[in-house]
Structure 1
Amino acid sequence: MSSNANNPLAKGLLGAGWRPLGRSLDWEYLGHLALRDTWKLSQKTLDIASDLADALSRREHPWWANLLNAFSENMQYELDEYWDYITPEPAAPDYRFKDTLSIDRPVVQAVGRDSIPIDYVLNRLQETVILRILALLGRPDSITQYYLDRHFEFPVEQFVDWDRMLVPGTLFAYWSAHQVWLKICLSQQQGKQQYSLIAIELLPLINKTAYNLAVMLSGYQSRIGQLASPYAIRSFPQEVQAFTDAVQQAVLDGDHLAVLVHGEPGTGKTAWAQAVSKEILQPLGFVTFILDHDAVENFAPPAYLERVCLIVNEADNLAQNRASEVAQASGKTEHILGLLDGTLYRSVIDESGLHAQQKLVVILTCNTTERLDPAVLRKGRIDLISQFTYRFV
């Protein structure tokens, strides 16, 4: 008994604040029916008129019994069916709304100890972006739900947050100012709900909400947050600051940039990469991914992000010369070459997803270039290279 009392569905949608959604007569819609579906409209109108006449004109019953018969369950069903035909259905996304970003919530990490949870972190990132967009949009103009062959609406003035919404069916919310729909429905995975943002143009909202995110992909230490930079760019030596100016200009001029900095340990290569990402790239809307040796072989930039920065540290241990046995036993070198070229993840475009015209910046740091595969240093892959010599740390 207590478990039933704690179940929100035990009191139904009406008890949870929802109310039946009435379908209103739209004269413009009715006019379209009359012009374009004249025969069917006439037939249905004559049928319902005939049924009503039969219900009210039974000679073997008194007038009051005939009147009650007009309100019988069968007659009510026929009237509801006719009303649904002559009135438009509740609004829903149409063919113009092509941009879609979806995630199954809650995002749960389900991997073994020998697995790298990249998918989990990227799903968390996608969930974070969707929730940030919902927070930016605020209270919707309408919230409707279809459940058990009935339409319901929720008073928007009573809306608090999406986690508190009761969604046993399919929920739609709409923001007219941004032309964005939210669809929530039960996922194929038990106990999960699929959140889908649907819009004519979703990328501006994604760019506005994802610009300051950073993702560290490093095995079970992976996390999503904001980038921390221990040193400001102005604290580096003058020659490094001059190289930084060249990097900044190259970022502004092109859509793809690959940078390599090398030098002995303690020369500030990693700190510089983080400073560039935080002070230059983040204000331009870039999302930063820091990849370690476990992540680099299984990573491709999310297609829905327009501006992506990849930081790969210790590249000399990852993109090693493929003539060596170590490199031959690993696919990391080929993967880094694919990231530098952009061919690995751009070769096939999945038509079912949301794809931005991506701007990519790759920053590689290493102690020495001697162990790097010659293909990494080939002209056209690395745009800018610098050796750090000042003992910064």
Structure 2
Amino acid sequence: MVTSLTGAARSASRGQPDIVAAWEQWQPTVLLVEDDPGDALLVEELVADGALKMDLRWVRSMTEAAETLAGQVPDCVLLDLHLPDAQGLEAVSRVRELADQVAVVVLTGLAEEQTGLAAVAAGAQDYLVKGRVEPELFGRAVRYAIQRKHAEQAAVALRASAMQAQENARLERGLLPRPLLRAEGVRVVARYRPGRAQALLGGDFYDIVQSADGTVHALVGDVSGHGPDEAALGVALRIAWRTLVLSGITGAEQMSRLEELLMAERARDEVFATLVSLAAVPGEQEARVVRAGHHGLLRRTGEDVEWVEVPGGPALGMVPGGAWWPTAELPVPAGSSVMLFTDGLFEGHVDHGPERLGEEGLLALAREGAGLDAEPFVDRLIERAETLAEARGGLADDVAVVHLNWN
């Protein structure tokens, strides 16, 4: 009954008559807790004479009320404060303990208005003075009490949701990496964009570490699927990669260790991960690249940008225990830079049609901003890809980007 009323109330934009009709059809369930038969009769007459029809049930004590509330929770409790087994504000507290989601309207005597106010302060939604209430006022008070209780519950749920979202955001921000660079001369621009309807952290991941010998290591990867399990797996792979790098384990052995972790941690057997790992010594004009099922990368030299594919092996988890990942040498002339990224950057739709930006489209966008410095180049590229995909709701997949220059 309450659900249908709430749905009807949402249609307020269709006009006031709809809301009035919804109230007229609505019949709330009300539990009267009153030990005096005379006062109970007065309440029954108010219900009978009022425009708002109610499904009224009468019990004489808090014990009977507890039994009733344990079986079926009403929309509202009409509560006398002088019961044989509960007195004053104790009665309000008992009802709230038994069914905190129920609206409570306290019934008081002529000389007990202060007690009624105290009951409202203690959690009741309203109070009525016995013998001083007209049928229409009585029905309106019950209706408003129920509405007020629903509003209070919605506000509490909203606050709890906001607090949880803030805690999740703080946690996810803490899980994003901070580049570990030991010396000057290395310039890094890293960006992370979650896909639409995603949290701050998705299945894409990246990291940058400079080992003790000065070698700069960079990683970009993508766990298949979306959701908290994929995000957790991405974080686990990133942390494992950093640990392996600092332990001096690189190349095919590094990929094998990461695949072992993926197979142990993945929630489903069909989950896999693509990634590309790059290692370069500052001042040298080449980089060592290991690619596991990942697409190519961008190499920027002067005013030119080119798409580069290097030899690689399968995605992690696709051929468990039977894969090999070669290390490829990538020439990087002096003054050049390399950009690693996940496929979310070029898989967004263009306009309203089924066409996607694709690798060629991304390369064209990159060449438009080829003359920009590293940071504006990366930001412009992501912004242009997002703009092209706006007609279909923006980029649906996560995007991780690492732009590196070491010479």
TM-score normalised over the length of structure 1: 0.26
| Structure label with greater radius of gyration | 2
Scaled by the length of structure 2, the TM-score of the pair is 0.25
Greater RCO, 1 or 2 (C-alpha within 8 Å, sep 6+) = 1
